[in-house]
Amino acid sequence: MIPLRLSRRSALLATAAVAAVSPSVRAQAPRRGGTLVVAADTEPRNLNPAIVASNGVFYVASKVIEPLAEMAYGGDGLVPRLATAWQGAADGRSATFTLREGVSWHDGKPFTAADVQFSAMEVWKKLQNLGRVVFKDLEAVETPDARTAVFRFAKPTPFQLVRNALPALTAVLPRHVFEGSDINANPANSRLIGTGPFRFTEHRPGEFFRLDRNPNYWEPERPYLDTIIYRVLPDRSAVAAALEANQIQLSAFSAVPLTDLARIGAVPGIAVIPGGYEGITYQLTVEVNHRRKELADPRVRRAIAHAIDPKFVVDAIFLGFAAASSGPIPKFDKQFHAADLAAPGFDRARANALLDEAGYPRGAGGVRFRVRLLPAPWFEQTKQFGDYLRQALAAVGIDAQVVANDPAAHIKAVYTDHAFDLAIGSPVYRNDPAISTTILYQGGLPAGVPFSNQYGYKDDAMEAVIAKAAAAVDTAERTAAYREFQRLALEQQPLIHVAEFTFITVARKSVQNVANNPRWATSHWADTWLAG
């Protein structure tokens, strides 16, 4: 995997970030102790990453609950965590994992293969927003001994997919805590018990989450930090001020507004760091409710796509820290991205012609029809894009009423109640199309599954190609199937991809080992430390 290509501005920031760490700091050995205070802009109700695989959850929970493997720069792209080795059968019907010895849960119970078996069969397969698709054909997990877990699949399942899913979809839960309970209602979903380098200690709503060092962690001498405190700062304008005052030492996920980066990057003692997000590339999308008659017409959806100017979005909203999208698989995925397929492109005249052709002429005031537009509240850019999209649609005769919700209300409106016409989303591409991308196009999912196809879209050809790719053990066959998937997506525009982007971390220069893997903000931080 290679980093997303951004603008020259981003390249200059990357150079500045590398130069920002003084030679004396780079030469220091890791230092034990200290409290790292970081900014958090949301407070997920369910912090269990085995149920809710999302970056807002991972940001806190990944330090407490561990996956089988984590992403890495270089090598084969993975490093062991709770699993030390993995191997897939040639026929795609099984995958064998060797598990780490000497690991204990935070309550002192030993970690065994039974925990992996329970997590896979009862949680990832049945409950997880993404795992219920990836592991749908998992029929059993055998545990011949405490350190071996053998996954058995009812149908051929590409080991490439299983392997690519390990970092995001395999958070392991303690069987003895969850078995026999209502898993979705278990108190351990908010007061986490894991095997990770940090223990969950406290949550004061509206104030902070606190994690403390696990003294019995399986990795000797780690973690280096004593404590991580996530200070809840939903007002992004306050984040930069808190960094400058040294009230916090780090902000992730572009919590510092892009407009402030040049200024804060010049403040002594602060570094702007654009790396560490390549494995969780986000995509700015327009989600379309196909239950609405007008929007069920592909001509209308293509018209909406033609009404959007991606260059303006990249330059004016993302200030160059993004790239225009050309479909559902980002450009950085060199295996699966079909570079020769093109998005509709900005063409207002074509948009108007398609709307006329679809039978929606301009009426009073030049309006063809009206829609409810719900921008996702996670990022400043999704909110700003909502204002831009309202204007872009007005220019082609579609009157959009912007409806602003908090995160919980937005998820309920879009994914449970389907109370929207258009929504602005930010799905994450997680290293393989079958992990978190095809779920945006696959029909028949139950209501209430976040970050999935809740749009009422269902197409037989799309269903067939998704199923074919999911069962293709041969890599070349998988690649060809995902090319067809992209062709159909661009032709039908069931949802509209506008831009792809990663994030910026801003940190005090005393914070070391930042952005050292492609999912750094959502990984373990066992090797992060504070220089004296």
Q: Nearest to residue 329, comparing CAs of 189, 164, 116?
A: 164
Determine the pLDDT at residue 268: 95
Determine the pLDDT at residue 1: 32
Name the amino acid, one letter, at 160. Answer: Q
Determine the pLDDT at residue 86: 98
Determine the pLDDT at residue 277: 92
Entry field: residues in the chain = 532
Quick count: other Cβ atoms within 10 Å of Cβ 19? 9
The DSSP call for residue 100 is P
pLDDT digits (tens, 9 = 90+) for 104-130: 999 999 999 999 999 999 999 999 988
- pLDDT classification of 378: cutoffs 50, 70, 90: confident
Across the range 254-276, mean pLDDT stands at 93
% pLDDT > 70, the chain: 95
Q: Nearest to residue 131, comparing CAs of 441, 452, 502, 408?
A: 452
The ranges assigned to domains in the chain are 8-64+196-276+504-530, 69-175, 279-501
Q: Nearest to residue 20, comparing CAs of 465, 515, 382, 354?
A: 515
Q: Nearest to residue 91, comparing CAs of 143, 157, 41?
A: 157
Helix (H) or strand (E) holding 174: none
CATH of domain 8-64+196-276+504-530: 3.40.190.10
Token pair in block for residue 306: 């033609």
Token pair in block for residue 159: 């080991």
Q: How does DSSP assign 432-468, residue by residue?
A: SHHHHTGGGT---PPTT-TTS--S----HHHHHHHHH
Across the range 471-476, mean pLDDT stands at 92
CA 459 to chain centre: 25
Question: CA 239, CA 498: separation in Å to the nearest integer?
Answer: 28
Question: CA 472, CA 491: separation in Å to the nearest integer?
Answer: 23
pLDDT digits (tens, 9 = 90+) for 206-231: 999 999 999 999 999 999 999 999 99
Of 147-151, 191-195, 449-453, the range with the lowest mean pLDDT is 449-453
Question: CA 57, CA 67: separation in Å to the nearest integer?
Answer: 14
- Domain at 69-175, CATH class: alpha beta
What phi-psi label fits residue 40: left (phi over 0), alpha (psi between -120 and 50 degrees) or beta?
Answer: beta
- pLDDT classification of 10: cutoffs 50, 70, 90: very low
* pLDDT at position 9 over 50: no
pLDDT digits (tens, 9 = 90+) for 48-81: 999 999 999 999 999 999 999 999 998 889 999 9
pTM assigned to the model: 0.84
Half-sphere exposure of 234 (CA within 13 A, CB side): 10
- Domain at 279-501, CATH class: alpha beta
Kindly report the backbone phi and psi dihedral angles of residue 145, in degrees, each rounded to the nearest multiple of 5, phi listed first: -155, 180
Is the previous residue joined to 187 through a cis bond, with omega within 30 degrees of 0? no
* pLDDT at position 315 over 70: yes
Determine the pLDDT at residue 23: 34
Residues in Cβ contact with 72 at an 8 Å cutoff, skipping those fewer than 6 apart: 78, 79, 517, 518
Computed on alpha carbons and rounded to an integer, the radius of gyration of the chain in Å comes to 23
Three-state DSSP string of 292-323:
CCHHHCHHHHHHHHHHCCHHHHHHHHCCCCCE
Question: CA 198, CA 216: separation in Å to the nearest integer?
Answer: 10
Q: What does DSSP say about strands 83-88 and 94-99: parallel, antiparallel, or unpaired?
A: antiparallel
Question: CA 199, CA 206: separation in Å to the nearest integer?
Answer: 20
